[in-house]
Amino acid sequence: MTAASQARRRRDADELEIVAFERGEHTSYSACGIPYFIAGDVGALDDLVARTPAEHRARDIDVHLRHEVVAIDLARRAVQVADLDGGTERWEPFDSLVYATGSVPMRPDLPGSDADGIFGVQTLDDGALIRRVLESDGADRPPPRRAVVVGGGYIGLEMAEALVKHGLDVTLIEAAAHPMSTLDPDVGALIADAIRGVGVTLYEGERVTGFGTDGGRGGGHVTSVATAEREVPADIVLLGLGSRPNVALARDAGIPLGTSGGVAVDRRMQTQIAAVWAAGDCVESFHRVSRAPVVVALGTHANKQGRVAGINIGGGYAAFHGVVGTAVSKICEYEVARTGLNEREAAAAGFQYVTAEFEGTTRAGYFPGTMPIRIKMLAERRTGRLLGAQIVGREGAAKRIDVIALALWNEMTVEDLLGTDLSYAPPFSPVWDPVLVAARRTFEAVEGGPA
């Protein structure tokens, strides 16, 4: 919808007709807000909607809800659309196409995985459904008491915390040694402590092998989650196993995918098919540090990419210059952030690197409300080029990752970074901002290491 809006800003309705098909009930919403809606921090689902279909229609963007595109014919330049309520299908021609199908949650192919009571957390419709189930709204079952979250990534952790807030007995099962496997293990171990601290039962290094059900019709309703080590009773199961780009339609149509599995696009967000554009979780992006294509499902990239595609479709020129792997999350009282490459990723990209860590405070040590912050930083051996960082801390810690992201964006060395002019006043920072101290420590590790 961002692409549609941007194209409309540059072309009036008499120059450019814009038609949008959406399988669900909503447009332009914040999927990232769903855990906070479940937790009750956000009162109404509508609060997560940035722009309604009616608002888009008022700007001459012809939105069709509950309409699913089921095929793309590149030769005929048309899409086949199923009206999910009317039950009819038709072909809609296009001059330009924007492929923005997002991602699909990973669903394990295991016994019982189709049972009722197992939910992905992807769309606003998912959010509405989960909250109805939690409140036993209109259901013949009592509200669930025991929840199992499968997967300890951002969404899994946020959902586990949300369900605790909602009053459930929550177990989180993570296949890796620690949750947040996108961070280095030492950082993940801290997160494990935090999530246990709010009362989540956490099993690490255990892979789910199947789901027990009550044997009802269809797949029945889920009753437990099994690992090799144990069976955990469950009234509701949330899947937090990540997502993969929703590329089935593109692949079937012959729109080329990239090596990462996302739709391949150039910097203007055009696919390898002329006038076929793509944006959002379904595409791959250039990682500016590893120089490899990556799929990163984040609303902020999707929005920027949509803007770029829309400007280009509208006759302008805009480019998406890639990502550096920045992400942030709040897990209980902890703020967690990362940017660039972690140790595993740096090694995979062929870098030799050094690391350093620093534990400091978010404000001057003597200032009321100062909070702990821990920064781990990676730099290339010998050159000292900044490669990545991870932050764990309390209030005021995580957003500092943006400074490091911008340093990565500009290919700075840690020596460059340690001398930069960051803001200082006691309510905001020690006289050396923790980011600068982390850079200084990492620089010393570069200098101290073998040349």
CB nearer its own copies, residue 32 or residue 110: 32
Q: If you write DSSP's letter for every residue of 241-292 in order, what string do you get? A: S-EEE--HHHHHHTPPB-TTSSBP--TTSB-SSTTEEE-STTB-EEBTTT-S
# chain residues binding its own copies, by CB under 8 A: 65
Sequence-ordered list of residues with C-beta below 8 angstroms from that of 9, at least 6 positions apart, any chain: 310, 314
In the list 11, 26, 304, 385, the residue contacting its own copies (rule: CB under 8 A) is 304
In the list 199, 315, 419, 449, the residue contacting its own copies (rule: CB under 8 A) is 419
In the list 18, 20, 48, 341, the residue contacting its own copies (rule: CB under 8 A) is 48
Secondary structure element (H or E) that encloses residue 187, with its range: helix 185-197
Number of separate helices (H) and strands (E) present in the chain:
12, 24
Which segment (19-27, 75-83, 111-119, 318-326) binds its own copies by CB under 8 A? 318-326
In the list 71, 78, 189, 298, the residue contacting its own copies (rule: CB under 8 A) is 298
**Residue 282: active-site member:** no
Q: DSSP label at 398?
A: G
Among the listed residues 16, 19, 32, 422, the single catalytic one is: 32
Query: Do the bridges between strand 103-105 and strand 285-286 make them parallel or antiparallel, or are there none, so unpaired?
Result: unpaired
Q: Are 341 and 289 in contact (CB under 8 A)?
A: yes
Q: Are 321 and 309 in contact (CB under 8 A)?
A: no
Q: Which parts of 30-180 are beta strand (E)?
A: 61-65, 67-73, 78-83, 89-93, 97-99, 103-105, 118-120, 146-150, 169-174
Check residue 262 for interaction with its own copies (CB under 8 A): no
Residues 4-43 that bind its own copies (CB under 8 A): 30, 32-33, 36, 41-42
CB nearer its own copies, residue 66 or residue 288: 288
Sequence-ordered list of residues with C-beta below 8 angstroms from that of 358, at least 6 positions apart, any chain: 374, 375, 377, 434, 437, 438, 441
Check residue 303 for interaction with its own copies (CB under 8 A): yes
Residues 89-118 that bind its own copies (CB under 8 A): none
In the list 118, 403, 438, 445, the residue contacting its own copies (rule: CB under 8 A) is 403
In the list 13, 57, 431, 449, the residue contacting its own copies (rule: CB under 8 A) is 431
Which segment (51-59, 90-98, 315-323, 352-360) binds its own copies by CB under 8 A? 315-323
Which segment (78-86, 92-100, 197-205, 397-405) binds its own copies by CB under 8 A? 397-405
SS3 74: coil
Check residue 321 for interaction with its own copies (CB under 8 A): yes
4 φ, ψ (degrees, to nearest 5): -60, -45
Tokens describing residue 114 = 């189709």
267 φ, ψ (degrees, to nearest 5): -70, -20
Which segment (51-59, 101-109, 207-215, 406-414) binds its own copies by CB under 8 A? 406-414
Nearest Cα to 110, choosing from 175, 163, 171, 164?
A: 175
CB nearer its own copies, residue 251 or residue 291: 291
Q: To the nearest whole angstrom, how small is the minimum distance from the Cβ of residue 175 to its own copies?
A: 23
Check residue 433 for interaction with its own copies (CB under 8 A): yes
Which segment (74-82, 135-143, 223-231, 325-333) binds its own copies by CB under 8 A? 325-333
In the list 223, 329, 342, 361, the residue contacting its own copies (rule: CB under 8 A) is 329
What separation in angstroms does the CA of 190 have from each of 205, 281, 292, 340, 399?
15, 29, 29, 20, 18
Q: What is the Cα Rg of the chain in Å? A: 23
Residues 49-78 that bind its own copies (CB under 8 A): 50
Which segment (98-106, 209-217, 239-247, 408-416) binds its own copies by CB under 8 A? 408-416
Neighbouring-strand partners of residue 359: 374
Residues 330-389 that bind its own copies (CB under 8 A): 330, 335, 337, 339, 364, 366-368
Nearest Cα to 418, choosing from 400, 436, 445?
A: 436
Q: What angle do CA 325, 328, 331 make, to 5 degrees?
A: 140
Catalytic residues: 32
Q: Give residues in contact with its own copies (CB under 8 A).
A: 30, 32-33, 36, 41-42, 47-48, 50, 154, 288, 298-301, 303-304, 319-330, 335, 337, 339, 364, 366-368, 396, 398-403, 405-407, 409-410, 412, 416, 419-429, 431-433, 435
